Chains A and B, each alone.
Chain A
Amino acid sequence: MLSDSLALLKVFSGLIILLLLGIYSHQHGQAEDEKTLKLIKKCVMLPSTCAGRPLVIRVKTKAWSPESVEVEVKAGEVYLTQYPIETSNLDGKQSAGRIIDILGSFDRDGQFIVVKQREDDWIQTTKYLVSLVGLGLCLWLFVRLYTLSPGCRLPIIPRHRRNNNA
């Protein structure tokens, strides 16, 4: 199974299986996204029909008042500018144009009560930077431990083995 015989066929078959898994996941995900999109549109247009139902939505802040924040909800690629909603419990800087993911539910008055919120802030950027450091360290470690054999097909071998052979 791991020998060189029919290696190309084995690799090709593996790639096909991965491709099929990806397509299967894509089809299912698209169908789920469509359902979610319909639900969000329905809830934003008729909030009373979704009272108490937990929802995750991406919003853009519009106007702040002491009691609530008016936001536009993103549905698919566009913001539903004609159907702004009122939210409460939204934290952070009181400015228009902030894009925030919020978890919560509509109450009976059609106001969206925020339970949890997430924003692309410095934490996410730091996480990406730390990840790049991790990637760099991994590659450095791997290059220290492994090398390419001198053969024409260049398979990877442990570095000490090549040194021993030399």
Chain B
Amino acid sequence: MPDLFTHAATGYFIGRSLYADHRIGLIVLGSILPDLLTRVPQIILQRFLEFPVSHFFAAFHTPVALIISCYLLCFLFAEAQRRTSCLLMSFGALCHFVLDLMQEQFYQPIYMPWFPLSFQAMQWSWFHIHASLLITPVLLVAVLYLWLRDTKR
């Protein structure tokens, strides 16, 4: 996966190009959601505590599970906001998934777009697994510049 900052920055740029209000936050939240649901529990439970939960949480990094998760999360929002919240968080989460598909894994692909219908994994291998780190400084400067400019306005 590209690092979480790259995902968040991508979500911010996409959100900012579509909206100029609080809805940007929903797309950004959606854009980090897949890793919050999958990688964080995997790192804590599997890597540090050695519970064999890697495959269990891998299911949550799939489009179907992400849409269900966004549906559940939208109940945290006021009723009038739910539809927008669900749609924009799902959009952000799918942007995250597409960005993950673009990278080249160590060997075989790991992301399963058709789950639970199929376990067939996919990758487009457009960039190296660590390539996102190279553009992190540029993204950080760009995000801070745009955020400060928008705040001043």
Q: Which residues of B contact A (CB under 8 A)?
A: 3-9, 12, 21-22, 24-25, 28-29, 32, 35-36, 52-60, 62, 64-65, 68-69, 71-72, 74-79, 81-83, 86, 106-108, 115-116, 119, 130, 133, 136, 140, 143, 147
Contacts and interface: CB of A to CB of B under 8 A. Distances in A.
Interface of A is mostly: helix
Contacts of B54: 29
Nearest to B119: A28
B60 to A, nearest CB: 7
B29 A116 contact: no
Given A2-B86, A134-B8, A141-B12, A158 B21 contact: yes
A95 interface: no
Lowest 7 A-B CB distances belong to which pairs?
A29-B55, A134-B5, A25-B59, A131-B4, A134-B4, A145-B25, A158-B22
Interface string A6-26: 010011001101100111111
B47 to A, nearest CB: 10
A126 B59 CA distance: 26
B76 A155 contact: yes
Interface residues of A, number: 49
Contact of B107 (A15, A56, A126): A56
B107 A103 contact: yes
A30 interface: yes
B72 A14 contact: yes
A124 to B, nearest CB: 8
Contact of B143 (A56, A137, A144): A137
